[in-house]
Structure 1
């Protein structure tokens, strides 16, 4: 209490001659604040003579009548006053709720000393306190008071970087012992502090972040994070957007469920004096700053907010809105817009979409944009590009673009089969590499499943035969004659894989799987699928499928799991699988691809035009970028690799999503920009080429096929001229959209056209690969659903790396159900030590946090040092600190 009194007196300005009003109920811990300040500073304390605290209508009169100069109250109560009503007030001590920026500005501009404090009862009233806020300064909760520590931690109780939101934990002398008679709650909220032996800390349940100015900014309650339409929403962010409207004085946003199962965001606002509130205009205003799912469904205008006994806003007393007056978005105005709304909803996995909902704000990304463009081509017969979706991301804006679009090329279809079936463009390079380098495991794609329970081996073997019969690509041999390579489709019965359990054990199963995954295919002599069944115990098996990349891609793997699961369940029941027949096969695709792209020697053909684009886009591309390697590049790459984990936590992931939305980009583009900045800061130069896979399934008929459709785009990042990070992101967006519009040229054709200096020591055109896998994945138990058998993924460590570095990230879910990114940084052991790769992964996540906190930072100023490196630089050999 002595520490608290000292801080309050200093910041609020308590002194002899000042007059405090005791208007807070004595049952509320904040009432101690006025008592302390008055009694320890020599100021006068006026006790409210009424049995209850003064209400909004009486408070101003009480202040004027008793010439009150200093006052403690909540921002909600302060909203009922204006500076002109209470001219004697010179100091405000605020707490209990977040302080709106406009409220702080109004009182600070009037010359009133405004101090924002924060503190739960469990930490003796106030744990942090701001200095007096300046007019126009963003409200914050300051710094810890003396003898108190504020720790901003993630879910793993690790400190988060500056600018990243985490949960606030408090430690120090002010902590309570616990809750009387509630040991379980005490154990849950008062936890061991990992940063001090024997020290405790209190888990506040509040979300905050350190600003770059060294003060704490309050974001909201952990339980203020709600889910609406399947999206996680931070109510504080919505409130901030609503409050920023010039006609809004105060705002509160809540989730209401006025009809069972129909949860909606509702904003309650108090307008500025004299302002007129138009709910539709306010919703349109917030839609410019927020994703569609965060825009309130209704806006309710009030003269004042209902307050609880502790003078906080009583959210339970807020009235229900009239939803009929406020549509949640304009409905389609005709059959064309209705069909587009249906396509948006289908691709995004939503129940409904209005014509004003933004595709990317609802969770869209470049892959889904590609899928939407494909759906539009099929439905309207119109050629709509991914760039068009980016530039017109709502149905209302996209509909005219569809009307004006050119007719689509001929859809994927079955064509007459010649005697010699050509390879697709993508297959040609993999075939060439297999012949040039010899049989190896570099392009193997292993899929391992751990099967626990009663396994019907005969049913599984039959299901594998069904799988091979369904997908021709799995039974294709790549023969060669004097005219070159061609596809030979093997009869399904001949290609049916046998399944003989091989003995293994819990101790050696990982090694057995890894060894089998390195099987070297001879594509000219055998089908590109091998299957093993390892028996760990009578009730524990591991099924391993190894495919060569020439017949499959990342999209194919969930298809394989789903089809295998359906066939296995059917065979266990003694019947054949009843799946729908595929509209065409991969061989049909290879023929259609040649037909639709045309002759590359014709500059007006699609292939000729796209080759011209890439010739210009990749002119002057560096043969090799300088990476922070641990040893020189060998003459011949061994392709031996290892990997380290990478994880982007939920708060940082939200920051990436917000940054992408603000810049009209995708999360992938933010990741690409950040990775390029990191490599550049570590010596790679200002021209950073990266490879990135793109699905390549530009027609709906291809979506169910197992095959090699993926193409590799060379994405070039220009970092010249010391730009800001947002400028780099703008450049990346333009370059990537142009690349997406010219994605049909196979990578191997680019290599032939550009003819870079060939080397067996490195990958041509780029040495760094970046991948963000946000495709829909097959569920982990895709082949389960049979009584007595459960399925889980079995890790496969093949120890291979095709590139110097590969950063592969996927959408995931954290322990609390929030979206995160997780993946791996795969590296060539020819060049890197594991410790170096771990440092790179750490630096990358730190850099992401830095650019999210300050997107306008110049890229040559982005911090990339690890904590240990910074300590070594700042601390001299004798332990003295140096200025840098």
Structure 2
């Protein structure tokens, strides 16, 4: 590995190619023939400075300010723990893989939509984030190679720039329609990829917080990996080593690598926010979204189901758990005179709570309908509120507490 201060993903490809050439030459006793390096990193820095000063900075800044707007949106992923004021940056990882057949099918969907595998992976990620958060404005940080001059193709250094790709997800849109919008967004971003990210942050001046990144809280990094040069070396075999947990730079990051064997992915997550099992479930949902997109590209986003058909996707803790109203009913049988609710001088025993809630639940069940009924509960905080909430659960519905002090 190499530190990002001196290299990037593209640089690793250069290093691998040159290592393979040197090893092959050494093994065969032949002279070394490496491709020439046409530009040093200092040359690139000079080109970038002159280019930005010539007016390109203002042009690209106008585009990004228009694309992102004035108000940054914090993506509120459902977390297992509250966001700390200062993150520890401890992280974990969850890996997955798509084999050759699935990668080929994904490429077929990309071709049909007139785009790339990266755009399909990005759109699936955006749909997943939309479904998890309910937010329509989704912003994903995406690193780009930023090597627009041929002279830099053999230069080892950190050229990468970070962009913020914004999507407005609507459940009534089809997968193909979203792919078309993502294709346009990616193309526009590529045409404005040279503006340094720190200059964009400085121009937008978002409200700063130590708890999260200013312009995005999730990232997607996709790379094509070519290991053919190493695989052709005489007397050597390659062994893949699983990536270990690393520091979490954002709440959630998806790294994907594409090669002739398929696509490998790694979800990196902030341990401050998420349990490992939560991200394992999210990873299964992501793969499920991809497969549904491939199988039915005309389907509406709202019709994409996150729940897997097999029981493997279900958290075993929920299979073993007792529902709240069942636990209270059991307690009412075992200790009917024990205090269940106390509010000032008002007291309800478990027996009273169970009897009152059951009576109200029967009346509710005769009135509510629908596959997933939701019952609004408008009442001040009191023991009577607990009775009503419990009755709604017993009637097979979900409750929506409404503060009676709110305007009608």
CA distance in 1, matches of 2:157, 2:184: 30
Could you tell me whether the CA contact under 8 Å between 2:221 and 2:254 is conserved in 1? yes
Q: Give 5+ residue unaligned stretches, structure 1.
A: 1-445, 447-546, 600-604, 815-819
CA distance in 2, matches of 1:808, 1:585: 28
Q: Alpha-carbon deviation of 1:883? A: 6.5
Equivalent position of 1:680 in the other structure:
130
Q: Alpha-carbon deviation of 1:578? A: 4.2
Equivalent position of 2:304 in the other structure:
862
Q: Alpha-carbon deviation of 1:729? A: 1.7
Equivalent position of 1:68 in the other structure:
none
Question: Does 2:12 align with 1:549?
Answer: no
For the residue of structure 2 that corresponds to 1:799, the secondary structure is: coil
Equivalent position of 1:592 in the other structure:
47
Q: Alpha-carbon deviation of 1:763? A: 2.0
Q: Alpha-carbon deviation of 1:620? A: 4.0
Equivalent position of 1:698 in the other structure:
148
Equivalent position of 1:739 in the other structure:
189
1:640 paired residue among 80, 90, 98: 90
Q: 1:684 to 1:752 in 2, by over 3 A?
A: farther
Aligned positions of 1:111-150 closer than 5 A: none
Normalising by structure 2, what TM-score? 0.71
- Regions of 4+ moved over 4 Å: 567-578, 789-796, 869-873
1:624 paired residue among 48, 55, 74: 74
Question: Does 2:157 align with 1:707?
Answer: yes
Q: Which moved more, 1:767-776 or 1:795-804?
A: 795-804
Normalising by structure 1, what TM-score? 0.34
Q: Alpha-carbon deviation of 1:570? A: 5.8
Q: Alpha-carbon deviation of 1:705? A: 0.6
Could you tell me whether the CA contact under 8 Å between 1:552 and 1:706 is conserved in 2? yes
Aligned positions of 1:5-154 closer than 5 A: none
How many residue pairs get matched? Answer: 321
Q: Alpha-carbon deviation of 1:743? A: 0.7
Aligned positions of 1:398-477 closer than 5 A: 446=1
Equivalent position of 1:799 in the other structure:
246
Q: Alpha-carbon deviation of 1:633? A: 1.3
Q: Alpha-carbon deviation of 1:870? A: 7.9
Q: Alpha-carbon deviation of 1:607? A: 1.9
For the residue of structure 1 that corresponds to 2:282, the secondary structure is: helix
CA distance in 1, matches of 2:245, 2:251: 16
Could you tell me whether the CA contact under 8 Å between 1:562 and 1:778 is conserved in 2? no
Does 1 or 2 have the higher relative contact order (CA < 8 Å, sep 6+)? Answer: 2
CA distance in 1, matches of 2:284, 2:251: 18
Equivalent position of 2:198 in the other structure:
748
For the residue of structure 1 that corresponds to 2:66, the secondary structure is: helix
Q: Alpha-carbon deviation of 1:726? A: 2.1
CA deviation profile, 1:332-378 (whole Å, cap 9, x unmatched): xxxxxxxxxxxxxxxxxxxxxxxxxxxxxxxxxxxxxxxxxxxxxxx
Q: Which moved more, 1:790-799 or 1:661-670?
A: 790-799
Q: Alpha-carbon deviation of 1:790? A: 5.6
1:835 paired residue among 277, 283, 297: 277
CA deviation profile, 1:800-858 (whole Å, cap 9, x unmatched): 221211111122445xxxxx222211111111111011101100111112222222322
Could you tell me whether the CA contact under 8 Å between 1:781 and 1:792 is conserved in 2? no
Could you tell me whether the CA contact under 8 Å between 2:16 and 2:230 is conserved in 1? no
CA distance in 2, matches of 1:860, 1:648: 24
For the residue of structure 2 that corresponds to 1:624, the secondary structure is: coil
1:845 paired residue among 287, 294, 312: 287
For the residue of structure 1 that corresponds to 2:5, the secondary structure is: helix
CA deviation profile, 1:176-219 (whole Å, cap 9, x unmatched): xxxxxxxxxxxxxxxxxxxxxxxxxxxxxxxxxxxxxxxxxxxx
CA distance in 2, matches of 1:579, 1:649: 34
Q: 1:630 to 1:778 in 2, by over 3 A?
A: farther
Could you tell me whether the CA contact under 8 Å between 1:639 and 1:828 is conserved in 2? yes
The structure with the greater share of residues assigned to strand is 1
Could you tell me whether the CA contact under 8 Å between 1:762 and 1:803 is conserved in 2? yes
CA distance in 1, matches of 2:60, 2:159: 18
Q: Give 5+ residue unaligned stretches, structure 2.
A: 327-369, 373-408
Between structure 1 and structure 2, the one with the greater Rg is: 1
CA distance in 2, matches of 1:566, 1:650: 28
CA distance in 2, matches of 1:795, 1:668: 22
The structure with the greater share of residues assigned to helix is 2
CA deviation profile, 1:366-392 (whole Å, cap 9, x unmatched): xxxxxxxxxxxxxxxxxxxxxxxxxxx
